[in-house]
């Protein structure tokens, strides 16, 4: 064995509005600081867009990972159009994984 703890079953799904508090809590548990004033604005904007089912092209690239114990990771990304001569792509805005579940 490599000393990496066994991982519980992890489910990855698209983020939704009810995840904002868990995202904030995971982020602050890792960063050691309350960045809720920043997260509230970003998460509120992002999650309100994600929940609009009538959008022809809903945002993609924003996911949460959860186990039986709750949220254990998240990825917040935005699609970007061509700019500055670069091809279209994505920008990772924030991501986090519960430290005890990280792989080395």
pLDDT tens readout for residues 11-63: 999 888 788 888 888 988 888 776 766 766 777 777 777 666 666 555 678 89
Please report the beta strands in the chain, taking only residues with DSSP state E, as ranges in sequence order: 11-14, 63-67, 70-80, 89-97
| Structural domains in the chain, sorted by start | 11-101 (3.40.630.30)
Helix axes 20-31, 36-50, angle to 10 degrees: 150
What is the structure's pLDDT at 97? 93
Nearest-angstrom CA–CA distance, 36 and 86: 32
Helix, strand, or coil (residue 64) = strand
For the residues 52-80, what does the mean pLDDT come to?
80
pLDDT band at 74 (very low <50, low <70, confident <90, very high): very high
Q: Assess contact for 22 and 28: CB atoms under 8 A.
A: no
**Of 57, 94, 92, the residue nearest 78 (C-alpha):** 92
């Amino acid at each position: 064995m490599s000393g990496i703890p066994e991982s519980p079953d992890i489910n990855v799904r698209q983020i939704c509005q009810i995840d904002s508090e868990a995202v904030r809590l995971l982020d602050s548990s890792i960063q050691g600081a309350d960045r809720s004033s920043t997260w509230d604005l970003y998460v509120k904007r992002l999650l309100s867009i994600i929940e609009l089912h009538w959008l022809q092209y809903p945002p993609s690239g924003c996911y949460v990972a959860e186990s039986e114990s709750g949220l254990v990771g998240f990825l917040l990304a935005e699609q970007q159009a061509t700019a500055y001569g670069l091809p279209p792509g994505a920008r990772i805005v924030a991501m986090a994984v519960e430290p005890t579940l990280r792989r080395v």
